[in-house]
Amino acid sequence: MDNPSRRHAVDAIAEITTPAPQPPHPAVLTDYGADVFNEEAMRRYLAKSTCEKLLATIERGEALDPAIAGDVAHAMKEWALSRGATSYTHWFQPLTGSTAEKHDSFLEPENCGALFAFSGKNLIMGEPDASSFPSGGLRSTFEARGYTAWDPTSPAFIKRHGNGATLCIPTAFCSYTGDALDKKTPLLRSIQALSGATRRLMKCFGLPDDEKVSVTLGPEQEYFLIDKHFYLQRPDLLQTGRTLFGAPPAKHQQLEDHYFGAIRMRILNFMTEVEQELWKLGIPAKTRHNEVAPAQFELAPVFEELNLACDHNMLVMEILRQTAERHGLVCLLHEKPFAGVNGSGKHNNWSVNYGKRNLLNPGSDPHENAIFLTVLCAIIEAVDRHADLLRAAVTGAGNDHRLGANEAPPAVISMYLGDQLADVIEQLEHGTPTSSRHARAMKIGVDTLPPLPRDATDRNRTSPFAFTGNKFEFRAPGSSHSCSGANITLNVIVAEAFDRMAEVISKFDPEHFHDELQKHLQTLVRAHKRIIFNGDGYTDDWLAEAARRGLPNARSTMDSLRCLLADENVAVFEKYGVFTARELTSRFEVFLEDYHRKIRIEGEVALEIADTMILPAAGREYAEIVRAVAEAEQAGVSAGVSVQRARAERLGAQIEACAKHVQELRDAVGNGKHEDILRTMTELRIAVDALEKSVSDAAWPLPKYHEMLFIY
């Protein structure tokens, strides 16, 4: 046998035994948030007055009093030491899409020894410089050092490793000139923008204009788990996060027997440990289940304030990866690790709240309904006006395999409202009852909405942007993405639509407010209803219909990114102080560069695997058959020879086809044009996958799909 390592992997996995189910012992939640410098820890470690000031900053967004920074730093250090941490780091989110940390210990040498210290200055600001992170040209000048600035609205937390722990302080990352070099800064700016616009809109409805606006997010995280033994034998997974070759197995997800199925013990042990780790960090992991594809799973937390939820999702991804390792598994967060089976997304459940009122909750009286319908129409307008920006916010080399391909959700952004709400909107538009379903048309300020099904069974999973009861679920973000990108865009375009709405309706005659509002919403619905689509988003019919409606359909990263530089889009981001033109251009550059690099790496890895693993294995097999045929002929044996000769011929032809595609890919990688790399890589893949079906199983050099997806 040529390739014993695949067999060994299977044998090793067969040896793994999962512990027997535990005897019952009472479950306790004493650890929840134990590794977070939360309100409880603050009250224990800070003087009352300092604590109140800090809480005011956190809860009401009041500017932090620099005079308390020293006390807060001291308290944080004492708390961290008590939890075993001897180092701290400013934890930030550069444009790589990952998180970054540079550790410093609390250690201060003294005359005769050392002590642990942490100053207010070190808490508030760091100078990691960190010049190697992508900045898209923002840091080309010598003075553009990188600074981190404490974000007190996301509490500090502790990360643990085998023999120690580190205090992590969430921070924004900016250049000396004030340009945002990260994903958190624009997110915070966008929350501020939406808060302001929401207050202005609520004022039009006679509500006080000083309530706290909170944007909430519940990101559902999809992921794959495969056994590490297989992973280590796949240079493509190791270097690109996805399989560049692999024939789909006869059975994958057709039987739909994995989705919501009983979770295997080994996986449950993993999931339980993930939850324990997340709960210690105060991350409210709530839902776990098998997803549609084999070896695919999902984790969903209870929703939180957007900024915190984004930080928490970064930690969720990290803890999924690390815990998987401890269980001999590897967590794949790539959007499309396996061709031919479902990819992974991150459903972005988003809502806006004013005080205690969720603005996407219809409410129970005509006044609340009027607010709800106004907010809804503004969001319809926002999504229709800026579908291109929403698409650009979820772009990337990995997600192209979901959005551009025949998979949920499609690249065309549309909105799903559900039958009942769509009906309400229609009645609103026409001013008359639409069908026999209702006796009369919806009248704003007079009628209440019919109860809308929350989490109803008729939810449309093919829609990229669906109303799901009290929130919108944006399903296009990729599983590996930071939540920031999608929500920055969402916040800004909705802020703009809220302002546009407030501008108009604030001028209405109070006597006839609801009548005039109704007319205005009618106009908006007429102008933007093309974005509403309640049908099946997978079908070719929809793509044709969407084209007729004039909806953008950017199938790839390259198609979708360009809109970032359009004047009207730059103007929106600038107006709300979320991105300057410079910052937006820098994002464009960084995304583009990232895309090119990833495609190039994929091309090189595919080339290497084909050259050094596939072709040699297929060649050996071919030579062996040819030799066997020659020997049989010489010995005058005829039985089975014609079959072997036919096999050799087929294999020979396949090897030649493969070698030809290898050469084409080599040329494409040499020229560096990403379209050519992608095309030749796809062609080579077809040739290699055909070979996989011809070469004897024992000789195939890569773990196969059925092994990775089913043996764990």
Could you list the residues that contact ligand ADP (CB under 6 A)?
Answer: 216-218, 220, 287, 300-303, 347, 349-351, 358, 470-471
Q: How far is CA 184 from the centre of its chain?
A: 15
For ligand ADP, give the closer residue by CB, 240 or 351: 351
Min dist. Cβ of residue 218 to ligand ADP (A): 3
Evaluate whether 476 touches 407 at the Cβ level (below 8 Å).
no
For ligand ADP, give the closer residue by CB, 474 or 705: 474
For ligand ADP, give the closer residue by CB, 369 or 463: 463
287 binds, among Mg ion, ligand ADP, none (CB under 5 to 8 A by kind): ligand ADP
For ligand ADP, give the closer residue by CB, 268 or 615: 268
Alpha helices in 610-673 (DSSP H): 615-634, 641-671
Min dist. Cβ of residue 304 to ligand ADP (A): 8
For Mg ion, give the closer residue by CB, 300 or 688: 300
Evaluate whether 313 touches 221 at the Cβ level (below 8 Å).
yes
Min dist. Cβ of residue 249 to ligand ADP (A): 27
For Mg ion, give the closer residue by CB, 220 or 496: 220
The C-alpha atoms of residue 682 and residue 679 are separated, in whole angstroms, by: 5
216 binds, among ligand ADP, Mg ion, none (CB under 5 to 8 A by kind): ligand ADP
Min dist. Cβ of residue 280 to ligand ADP (A): 19
Length of the chain: 712
For Mg ion, give the closer residue by CB, 291 or 423: 291
The C-alpha atoms of residue 557 and residue 536 are separated, in whole angstroms, by: 24
Contacts of 554 (CB under 8 A, 6+ apart): 388, 391, 392, 395, 411, 560, 563
For Mg ion, give the closer residue by CB, 282 or 345: 345
Contacts of 202 (CB under 8 A, 6+ apart): 209, 211, 354, 371
For ligand ADP, give the closer residue by CB, 182 or 291: 291
Q: Using CA of residue 28, residue 32, residue 34, residue 40, what is the dihedral sign?
A: negative
Contacts of 683 (CB under 8 A, 6+ apart): 661, 664, 665
The first and second tokens of residue 349, run together, are 């459940």
For ligand ADP, give the closer residue by CB, 348 or 556: 348
Evaluate whether 135 touches 590 at the Cβ level (below 8 Å).
yes
The first and second tokens of residue 347, run together, are 């459903």
Evaluate whether 334 touches 344 at the Cβ level (below 8 Å).
yes
The first and second tokens of residue 262, run together, are 């009983």
Min dist. Cβ of residue 400 to ligand ADP (A): 24
Type of residue at 707: E
For ligand ADP, give the closer residue by CB, 233 or 348: 348
Using CB positions, name the residue nearest to Mg ion: 347
50 binds, among Mg ion, ligand ADP, none (CB under 5 to 8 A by kind): none
β-strand 357-358 against 285-290: which pairing, if any?
Answer: unpaired
For Mg ion, give the closer residue by CB, 166 or 351: 351
How would you write 264-315 as a 3-class SS string?
A: CHHHHHHHHHHHHHHHHCCCCEEEEEECCCCCEEEEEECCEEHHHHHHHHHH
For Mg ion, give the closer residue by CB, 136 or 464: 464
The first and second tokens of residue 176, run together, are 């000396």
Using CB positions, name the residue nearest to ligand ADP: 218
- In DSSP terms, which residues pair with 158 in a beta bridge? 167
Distances (CA, A) of 360 to 351, 471, 515, 544, 675: 6, 6, 22, 31, 42
Owner of token pair 């929106």: 572
Min dist. Cβ of residue 300 to ligand ADP (A): 4
The C-alpha atoms of residue 609 and residue 606 are separated, in whole angstroms, by: 5
218 binds, among ligand ADP, Mg ion, none (CB under 5 to 8 A by kind): ligand ADP
CA-closest candidate to residue 184, choices 485, 586, 570, 395 = 485
Min dist. Cβ of residue 485 to ligand ADP (A): 17
Helix (H) and strand (E) counts for the chain? Answer: 24, 18
Min dist. Cβ of residue 357 to ligand ADP (A): 11
Type of residue at 255: L
Min dist. Cβ of residue 467 to ligand ADP (A): 12
Min dist. Cβ of residue 32 to ligand ADP (A): 17
Q: Which residues bind Mg ion (CB under 5 A)?
A: 220, 347
DSSP symbols for 342-374: ---BEEEEEEEEETTEETTS--SSHHHHHHHHH
The C-alpha atoms of residue 480 and residue 41 are separated, in whole angstroms, by: 32
Min dist. Cβ of residue 354 to ligand ADP (A): 13
470 binds, among Mg ion, ligand ADP, none (CB under 5 to 8 A by kind): ligand ADP
580 binds, among ligand ADP, Mg ion, none (CB under 5 to 8 A by kind): none
Min dist. Cβ of residue 375 to ligand ADP (A): 13
Min dist. Cβ of residue 302 to ligand ADP (A): 5
